[in-house]
Amino acid sequence: MTVKIYNTIHKEKEEFIPREAGKVAMYACGPTTYNYFHLGNARMLVVFDMVRRYLAYKGYEVTYVQNFTDVDDKIIKRASEENCEPLALAGRYIEEYYKDANALNIQPATVHPKATDHIKEMIEIIKGLEKKGLAYPVEGDVYFAVEHFPQYGRLSGRNLEDLQAGARVEIDDKKLNPMDFALWKKAKPGEPAWPSPWGDGRPGWHIECSAMALKYLGPNFDIHGGGGDLVFPHHENEIAQSEGYLDGEQFARYWMHNAFITVNQEKMSKSLGNFFMIRDILKKFPGEVVRFYLLGTHYRSPLDFDDEKLEMAARGLDRLKTSVRLAGEALSKGKSTDSAGTRGELLNASSKARAAFEEAMEDDFNSAQAYASLFDLAKEINTALNEGGWTGAQIAEARDTLIDLAGILGFDLQKDSEVPAGESGKFNAVMELVLELRAKARADKDWSTADLIRDRLKEASIILEDTAEGSRWYLK
């Protein structure tokens, strides 16, 4: 099979053909570092971490670049509110980024460039655009002239005339066209600034990503990713300034965008007051549960947020972990229930699961459908352990396949299970005590207490199974 990617610029799924055989060059727009990153940022970061992991699993050598925007209007405003230096504020939140990213098991990028380390490259691009007649200076600012780039609007599907008609033009606007965007901004008192041919100033937001992507990946690189809110104007402007500078050579081959996070079916936004920082969510739920929730819906579909959905994600993840744990316990006892391994479903379960997993992931990285293959394999393991007809080799293969496939998505099924509310490491110990108390009740022929324990656990989606070798539990 071949990987297919929905390419935003062409509005359809396309076979993935990298620029260089066996290698993938990826760029994803990282956060603006003026605060902890939020749930919307987290979805984008986890999605492209998943894409990177799967391509590596398929044998590609992946170079993954994810930047930090560490100079921006938002950073300057926040620094002013906190009475500190903007670059110091940005540096502090870059450090905090790594803490939250690690909690979500997001692998560090191959390169994490900071915008402020690439001012020289940005100035060179702006000078090149000015020389080609695609940029013009006005009183220390420099703007990109969108009318001189005929393909403008190609990514977002927007017509320049319609954009101009809908634009709000200030009376004292210095731009020749309301849609022209800033490449360089004249320094204001108290703001970070760097010397340039147009005077001291700082770069515009869009030019930062173009400069960093081209430095580390070169033109015509494979995948450019980001959230759906970046399609316009950020990525549209990146294409215009990059391909204008490159004399029409392609900037990126495939454009991937994840959909929004919604809260009660409304887009998450600060103005609606339904804005959630990952740092706050991690106080209630383990990072692996948040990641499991984020990948449980196809990346191009909207994802609704509430605590109940995270609790459901926790139960789903623990179902997979329970299957791994039960398989390990059976193997540790060192005996098979059938020397010939006559249970046909388990014989083929591992290969079927891997094939289904790859089919889902190669269809535009459908992680939600890939989950189904994991749960199907876990069910086969549980059924085999309960009904018999398996050999140690079969159970070991099925368990190891389940661990491997989940690992491709960034989950460690051998970590201790964690309860939905995030009290990690204690749940198994509590369940061991519950099973001991119930075993004693059964030994004393106190059937009402034994049944009460079983029924109350079932109400909490914890299922008990009584076997010849004792009771065991799993999450429904």
Per the CB < 8 A criterion, the answer to whether 439 and 286 are in contact is no
Nearest CA to 148 out of 10, 238, 231, 241 is that of 241
Task: Give the range of the structural domain holding residue 418, as residue numbers without chain letter.
Answer: 313-422
Answer yes or no: is 302 within a domain: no
The pLDDT confidence band at residue 424, using thresholds 50, 70 and 90, is very low
Q: Residue 402 domain-assigned?
A: yes
Among 265, 283, 301, the domain-final residue is 283
Residue 307 lies in a domain: no
- pLDDT band, residue 461 (cuts 50/70/90): confident
Residues 157, 269, single domain; the answer is: yes
For the chain, helix (H) and strand (E) counts, in that order, are 15, 15
**What confidence category does residue 208 fall into, taking pLDDT thresholds of 50, 70 and 90?**
very high
pLDDT higher than 80, residue 340: no
- Binding site for ATP, residues? 270
Same domain, 411 and 472: no
- Indicate whether 472 and 385 sit together in one domain: no
> In the chain, what percentage of residues exceed pLDDT 90?
74
Q: Is residue 13 within a helix (H) or strand (E), and if so which, with residue range?
A: strand 12-15
Q: Which residues pair with 23 in a beta bridge?
A: 20, 61
Asked if residue 292 belongs to a domain, the reply is no
Residue 465 has pLDDT above 80, yes or no: no
Pick the last residue of a domain from 266, 283, 300: 283
The answer to whether residue 299 sits within a structural domain is no
- If asked whether residues 228 and 186 sit together in one domain, one would say yes
Q: Does 125 share its domain with 230?
A: yes
Name residue 14's beta-bridge partners: 5
**175: domain CATH number?**
3.40.50.620
- 301 located within any domain: no
Same domain, 255 and 376: no
Residue 440 shares a structural domain with residue 355: no
Dihedral angle, C-alpha 210, 216, 219, 222, nearest 10 °: -100
Q: Find the mean pLDDT for residues 211-234.
A: 97
* pLDDT on residue 317: 96
* Number of folded domains that form the chain: 3
168-205 pLDDT tens trace: 545 447 899 999 999 999 999 989 999 999 999 999 99
What's the token pair of residue 201?
A: 């100033």
Plot region of 188 (φ>0 → left; ψ -120 to 50 → alpha; else → beta): beta
From the number of C-beta atoms within 10 Å of its C-beta (0-12, 13-18, 19+), residue 296 rates as middle
Dihedral sign, CA of 75, 77, 82, 87? Answer: positive
Residue partners of 71: CB distance under 8 A and separation at least 6: 86, 87, 90, 115, 116, 192, 202, 203, 208
Q: Point out the annotated binding site for Zn(2+).
A: 29, 209, 234, 238
Grade residue 292 by pLDDT with cuts at 50, 70 and 90: very high
Q: Verify that 382 and 436 share a domain, yes or no.
A: no
pLDDT tens across 78-109, in order? 999 999 999 999 999 999 999 999 999 999 99
Question: Is residue 344 predicted with pLDDT exceeding 90?
Answer: no
Q: Tokens 């930047």 correspond to what residue?
A: 67
Q: Which long-range contacts (CB under 8 A, 24 or more apart) does 431-436 make?
A: 431/462, 431/473, 435/464, 435/470, 435/471, 435/472, 435/473
If asked whether residues 60 and 201 sit together in one domain, one would say yes
Binding-site residues, in ranges, read: 29, 209, 234, 238, 270
pLDDT at 275: 75
What is the token pair recorded at 443? Answer: 């030994």
The tokens for 73 are 């209007």
Note whether residue 300 is domain-resident.
Answer: no
Question: What's the CATH code of the domain at 402?
Answer: 1.20.120.640
The per-residue pLDDT for 434 is 87
Instruction: Point out the domain boundary residue: 242, 265, 283.
Output: 283
| pLDDT score of 433 | 86
**194 lies in the same domain as 339:** no
Query: 94, 68 in Cβ contact below 8 A?
Result: yes
232 plus 322 within the same structural domain: no
Pairwise CA distance, residues 112 & 345, whole Å = 46
Work out the burial of residue 304: count CB atoms within 10 Å of its CB; fewer than 13 is exposed, 13-18 middle, 19 or more buried: middle
pLDDT at 435: 86
Is residue 249 within 8 Å of residue 220, measured between CB atoms?
A: yes
The verdict on residue 412 lying in a domain is: yes
Q: Indicate the average pLDDT of the chain.
A: 90
Same domain, 260 and 116: yes
Q: DSSP for 149-170?
A: -TTTTTTTT--HHHHHHH----
